[in-house]
Amino acid sequence: MVIERLNPKGMHSNPAYSQGVALPASARIVLIGGQNGIDADGRIVGKGDIAAQTAQALANLAMVLEAGGARPEDLVRLSIYIVGDADIRPAFGAWMAFWADRGPPPVVTGIRVLGLANPDFLIEIEGQAAIV
Q: What is the pLDDT of residues 107-129, one digit of tens each?
A: 999 999 999 999 999 999 999 99
d(CA 75, CA 40): 23
**CA angle, residues 72, 64, 4, in degrees to nearest 5:** 35
Encode 103-113: b = buried (16+ Cβ within 10 Å), e = exposed: ebbbbbeeeee
The dihedral through the CA atoms of 60, 66, 71, 75 has a sign that is negative
Per-residue pLDDT at 51: 98
Q: What is the pLDDT of residues 8-18, one digit of tens each?
A: 999 988 888 89
Q: What is the pTM of this model?
A: 0.90
Residue from 80, 35, 30 nearest 57 by CA: 35
**Residue ranges per domain, the chain?**
26-131
What superfamily would CATH give domain 26-131? Answer: RutC-like (3.30.1330.40)
